[in-house]
Amino acid sequence: MSIFKGSGVALATPMKENGEINYDSLEKLIEAQIAGGTDALIVCGTSGEAPTLEDQEHLEAIRFAAEVTKGRIPVIAGTGSNNTAHAVMMSEESEKLGADGLLLVTPYYNKATQDGLYAHYRKIASATKLPCIIYNVPSRTGTNILPETVAKLIKDQKNIAGVKEASGSISQVAKLARLTEGAVDIYSGNDDQIVPVCSLGGVGVISVLANVAPRETHDMVMHCLEGRYTEAKALQLKALPLVEQLFIEVNPIPVKAALNMQGFAVGSPRLPLTELTDAHKASLRQAMIDFGCL
């Protein structure tokens, strides 16, 4: 039930000066991503500022992205929550609105047990026919879903199709790959670990970097999938200074600044996130120039 292989962009959500979603800019971003070779759009995830989107605008952004994309590449809706019932509702609505898959972050703040995580994901996935991607990002959620739990889930719930692994632990990725034996798609959730994850059987990345460098991110994954690891390694190492700058402050603060520099008019993040500092804007700009995306 694979959704995509390659580079999925964790798309930023453009905002107007009054804080509303800027749909004109969102359409331009989507078209630029498709033209740049991106293999899937992830809408309203962390990079899309999902925590500060109201349900109505969150769902409207998903509907709009599906309408603009017109099936050219998959649209994966971020519908995760620490409230299982809310995640079910958002997932059901996103399916009705044309999403091709779901990205479901591990519950944050509650700090569920592994049994709780298993029950949470089964409840959401059983409410939809869409393929689901588990998003494991302990640095943000305080919860780490273990490879053993994922292995049990994919055996018992057939539409759990992927894992976005952003634990930062290559050992955990290796164990996940060993226990699942290719039965689930593994995506790097960290732009500095695309090649290492693919070398262990990963099939792609869900990427912040792809917002500003879609072609290079796509090519990096394709080099891996086609066995050209020398070329993939060269791109990975070249991208490291830019990746560092894209996380110099909490995501998506830097990537929105970077997109503004590229002329996409994505505006500022919503509070409690703030504008990138001037010093960091300067270092980010230089990294973008050095990489060749500005």
Non-local CB neighbours of 286 within 8 Å, separated by 6+ positions: none
Of the residues 164, 187, 256, 281, only one is catalytic, namely 164
Share of the chain above pLDDT 70, in %: 100
Backbone angles phi, psi at 255, to 5 degrees: -70, -30
Judge whether residue 274 has pLDDT over 80.
Answer: yes
Cα separation of 36 and 255, whole Å? 17
Average confidence (pLDDT) over 82-111: 98
Domains of the chain: 6-226 (3.20.20.70)
Q: Confirm whether pTM is higher than 0.95.
A: yes
Whether 158 is a known active-site residue: answer no
What the block records as the tokens of 18 is: 């009054």
The H or E element spanning position 4 is none
Q: Span 105-111, mean pLDDT?
A: 96
Q: pLDDT tens-digit profile of 76-92? A: 999 999 999 999 999 99
| Residues 32-66: tens digit of each pLDDT | 999 999 999 999 999 999 999 999 999 999 999 99
Q: Which SS3 state, helix, strand or coil, does residue 63 take?
A: helix
Give the integer Cα–Cα distance in Å for 245 and 239.
10
Catalytic site residue from 135, 187, 256, 281 = 135
Q: Determine whether 285 is exposed, middle or buried from the number of CB atoms within 10 Å of its CB (0-12, 13-18, 19+).
A: middle
How does pLDDT run across 203-216, given as a tens digit for each residue?
999 999 999 999 99
Helices (H), the chain: 23-35, 55-69, 84-96, 114-125, 138-141, 147-156, 170-180, 194-199, 214-225, 229-246, 253-261, 278-291
Give the gyration radius of the chain's Cα atoms: 18
Q: At what angle do helices 55-69 and 84-96 cross, to 10 degrees?
A: 30
Is 16 among the catalytic positions? Answer: no
Whose structure tokens read 């593994």?
186
Classify strands 160-165 and 185-188 as parallel, antiparallel or unpaired: parallel
Nearest CA among 242, 261, 267, 266 for reference residue 30: 266
pLDDT number for residue 1:
73
